Structure 1
């Protein structure tokens, strides 16, 4: 097959928004559920944050489930489909800039500081959001209050010692946080080794001669630094859960610390120096690789192909507009035993040109793409977005602390993140829900106490109404303002588990192993010849296909929306895009498909005429990417699909 490439996401036609009221009425009935299994009358608690952060985390009127029904835009929750445990939770970063502002607040207004810290780390207050997954820069980063860059040891041969920034600001703030919640999960990431260990003699990455790297002669020194830093923090009462090998190893800034690694070099250093050094020191810590943007898929792929055994998982960032969190699914499905975390994103509700996703949107889509935890960037910045030495332009913290008055403002993204972190308990499992119902982005969870949580965020420019069907037991309608986020929580009877194996009369979504996205009919067309493409799961019926026995071990795949069959156009050429076409009887051979088991949990779909497999063109992650046929290759993930039963 041709090599993977990125495609620009295109717009999909949408019909006009339709207004609905909070009730159980709908346009079309769902599959019949026995009355004894219905949850009609069950109550769900509701909290909402407006698009500008107004009315943050405000309780709303409870909703009651009515009879199962569908509307124009549909969100479906299904707790029979359970994926990852959200073991990390949600949080932000203890940068030096954040710690500097918080310690100034503590000095000038101790009670205000205490109140703020309880809101951030506790959940008892109405606007307390219980953040528990945290990242600490091991050395100076782009968000540093000092005028100079620093590490904890700055000259060759000197004994290790924590810096004044560590002992005077960062550690005291973290200790205050641990006093509120002693179960915080804390990871550390370095921006640069000390200058004396590097090829250019500076912590700044690009000092005029391009990329700077760690000198091989100091590979062991840098691994020893990790050991000393972890021991020093832990001796100060700060438990360190894990580390990443390097922050953004593929980026070389010219105005703040950084250090580049090739995937091969990073993997070899972790395998031969960092991992053995931690082991000898008796430090059992998670080691995450990559720690960079979703769009640079080739680098983490090379890292895992060469050194998967040396890493516990991968860390990812959200930056650059083309970035797609589906990259996490693509890697996870190739290396399913490795953990997945989103570890840096600085965004507010309205995306900027370098950050495609707002805070709630990014967090929910990260969870939908296997993230076990999500960390945003700075916890707190001042009114100018500082203190800052360079780097992220327009980045904001969750909180603004005025540098002159120490006045505190809880920003919109504080509340947007809190709509998730406050209600998703430690140990929660991610359960299935519609990824993106025409701008309503969601994720759902089952807490250890049995309560279920659905969080929905409206990415549209206008208020949008949608229908929620919960476990097939009942439904309700809701209208969410533009850029607003809503959380529903309650106890609903479990969904019926449906078989995920091919059988006549069953209806499935066919979800790509590569992208995690199902294929459907472009624009939900009902016309002969309409193109078949992949798209974010939106619970529309054009993404569902009913199996009809065509005899001889073959199936017709009949689209639930159009009633037309999946068709290859009668050609045997590689690269031809699939279409839908009317099926008469059991159809022509080009409308008949063999569905055979491939790798664990996935299937290959082969056309009877061509003998070629359905395939996501170029291994794309993009919406509207063509579903084509291609010569079958064993083990090719672009040709493997998960059968997700819908009825």
Structure 2
């Protein structure tokens, strides 16, 4: 990425605090030009309005249609109705207030970044020939939350921020004013986003783990302080930070290094572990969990191995599905059940192109399946949503956990400015989140929370983009587009929300061959997912990766309204679950 004058330094504006740029005259002239079309759309002569609602509902409905046609600008009442009169009419009917549809938007070519927009209002359903998005009350999986990864790299970058920047970072990610993250992932021993390889017991042959560093001295330097700081923000709002832990590699002395005695923790033989080290490695993982608990960081779940099919140039450990099933059933599962029965275990933790075959082997294994909560997976092989749906259909009780996504350097667009990031990166994330949630996912987790200007530090130069990056030479922190795109989900799908089935009709869907991860274009049409929060609100997220605006009808039960989503934009709609108009 190249450098430039900052477009959006982190300290400049809060999340969603966006100014409206359009003038009154531009707004008035556009609305006047569109008014005949709005009347013809059904607002004036297709809806049957009950007598007791009368003109009020009709006016509110028209405001909803008109406001949906303007991507940015002042609220519709600014020119269409005196504010005092509008407030008086709103106060007259609590029924109409329950029909309000709140709207937030992030859109390319605008200043909208998680920006609240003028609301719409439901009216009775109507005939419509265009794209229709119907949200049902058919409930699916519970959504446990969203989050990102606490790596040593992120900890070191965070440590170098000013106190004010640290405070803003924590608020932006972990408070309800920001993205509302309630989940995190971290590494057991080092990973590529460490500044060097390390473990907590480098004494060869210490099978009783007497030399295990329970002080976690290495992680105490940067990683643990970051986790504790985030945990404090989450707990201040009455929530818990659910931590997922994944090993990249055991200590080198546990590994089969016959292929290369000098490899250390990097790379992997096959099998990875020495034959007599399976029990030792299982107890090592449990001891790591114990040590983190002693540092006031409870672990919600572990994955058996990060990317078990990847013989990487950094820390790695290869496992076939059968080998992993045996390890869970005979070693890791029993140890954790005895010492940490509250800790959940997820298998696989690799790409979706193999999730069905690998997941089947694990979940069909009688011994392993007793200890597995579900299957974790990454996005690096593309969509794979059909495999997720099939696996969920075969094992409906298994939790589906998207545990890692990022944009690697080879996918960066030349000339992208550090202060802006790549808009398509946000679109790719949203495309993946929507597909995963619609395929049964209980959460969604980004990779590094924050990185430096080069996409590191990383001890093997496997640099990546991040939702937040720092330009230390200028003392500035930037939010990249994926930050806002994630927020359209994480701020609104509160922990404990349930997924709702939705249907998109008369919109194209991609039917071609597999594409590189994060690919989202106009061929994907209107994409959407929905859920119901614990407080009884329905949340709908709509994505348009195409080059043209899309008009669509949002339908819920017997209520509906028309909206427009701009090109290269994402919108979140929220309304009360009882916002169903009687006919």
SS of residue in 1 equivalent to 2:465: coil
SS of residue in 2 equivalent to 1:310: coil
SS of residue in 2 equivalent to 1:327: helix
Distance 2:222 2:34 in 1: 51
Tell me the CA shift for residue 486 of structure 1: 0.7
Structure 1 residues 432, 352: CA separation in 2 closer, same or farther (over 3 Å shift)? Answer: farther
SS of residue in 2 equivalent to 1:295: helix
> Relative to structure 2, which stretch is displaced further, 242-251 or 132-141?
132-141
Determine if contact 1:318/1:344 at 8 Å carries over to the other structure: yes
Tell me the CA shift for residue 492 of structure 1: 4.4
Residue 303 (structure 1) aligned with residue 388 (structure 2): no
> Relative to structure 2, which stretch is displaced further, 448-457 or 58-67?
58-67
Distance 2:504 2:331 in 1: 41
Distance 1:93 1:100 in 2: 13
| Structure of higher RCO (CA pairs closer than 8 Å, 6+ residues apart) | 2
- RMSD across aligned C-alpha pairs, in angstroms? 3.2
Residue 117 of structure 1 corresponds to which residue in structure 2? 170
Identify unmatched segments of 5+ residues in structure 2: 1-32, 62-95, 414-423, 509-524
- After TM superposition, the structure 1 = structure 2 runs for residues 3-402 of structure 1, keeping only pairs within 5 Å, are 26=41, 42-51=99-108, 54-69=111-126, 70-79=128-137, 81-87=138-144, 89-105=145-161, 109-124=162-177, 128-144=178-194, 146=195, 148-156=196-204, 157=206, 158-161=210-213, 162-182=215-235, 183-200=240-257, 202-206=263-267, 211=270, 213-253=272-312, 255-296=313-354, 297-306=356-365, 307-321=368-382, 323-347=383-407, 358-390=428-460, 395-402=464-471
Tell me the CA shift for residue 418 of structure 1: 0.6
Tell me the CA shift for residue 476 of structure 1: 2.1
Determine if contact 2:251/2:265 at 8 Å carries over to the other structure: no
Tell me the CA shift for residue 229 of structure 1: 0.7
Tell me the CA shift for residue 441 of structure 1: 1.2
Tell me the CA shift for residue 462 of structure 1: 2.8
Higher-strand-fraction structure: 1
Tell me the CA shift for residue 24 of structure 1: 8.2
Distance 2:427 2:386 in 1: 13
Aligned length: 460
Distance 2:48 2:289 in 1: 55
Structure 1 residues 342, 357: CA separation in 2 closer, same or farther (over 3 Å shift)? Answer: farther
Determine if contact 1:351/1:357 at 8 Å carries over to the other structure: no
Distance 1:25 1:192 in 2: 64
Determine if contact 1:351/1:358 at 8 Å carries over to the other structure: no
Distance 1:469 1:347 in 2: 35
Write out per-residue CA displacement over residues 199-257 of structure 1, whole angstroms, 9 at most, x where no aligned residue.
015444437xx64601121111111111111111111111110100001111111x210
Question: 1:407 aligned to 476, 491, 497, which one?
Answer: 476
- After TM superposition, the structure 1 = structure 2 runs for residues 583-598 of structure 1, keeping only pairs within 5 Å, are none
Structure 1 residues 115, 205: CA separation in 2 closer, same or farther (over 3 Å shift)? Answer: closer
Tell me the CA shift for residue 391 of structure 1: 7.1
Residue 637 of structure 1 corresponds to which residue in structure 2? none
Tell me the CA shift for residue 55 of structure 1: 2.5
SS of residue in 1 equivalent to 2:403: strand
Question: 2:527 aligned to 403, 421, 441, which one?
Answer: 441
Tell me the CA shift for residue 326 of structure 1: 2.5
Residue 510 of structure 1 corresponds to which residue in structure 2? none
Tell me the CA shift for residue 464 of structure 1: 2.2
SS of residue in 1 equivalent to 2:501: strand
Distance 1:283 1:103 in 2: 34
Distance 1:215 1:440 in 2: 51
Distance 1:71 1:295 in 2: 37
Determine if contact 1:53/1:411 at 8 Å carries over to the other structure: no
Tell me the CA shift for residue 435 of structure 1: 5.7
Calculate the TM-score normalised by the size of structure 2: 0.73
Determine if contact 1:467/1:477 at 8 Å carries over to the other structure: yes
Write out per-residue CA displacement over residues 394-440 of structure 1, whole angstroms, 9 at most, x where no aligned residue.
x3111001243441101110110011111111211111223684322
Question: 1:420 aligned to 467, 478, 489, which one?
Answer: 489
Distance 1:316 1:425 in 2: 22
> Relative to structure 2, which stretch is displaced further, 363-372 or 486-495?
486-495
Determine if contact 2:565/2:571 at 8 Å carries over to the other structure: no
Structure 1 residues 78, 225: CA separation in 2 closer, same or farther (over 3 Å shift)? Answer: same
Write out per-residue CA displacement over residues 104-128 of structure 1, whole angstroms, 9 at most, x where no aligned residue.
11xxx1122112211110023xxx1
Determine if contact 2:267/2:311 at 8 Å carries over to the other structure: yes
Residue 476 (structure 1) aligned with residue 562 (structure 2): yes
Structure 1 residues 94, 440: CA separation in 2 closer, same or farther (over 3 Å shift)? Answer: same
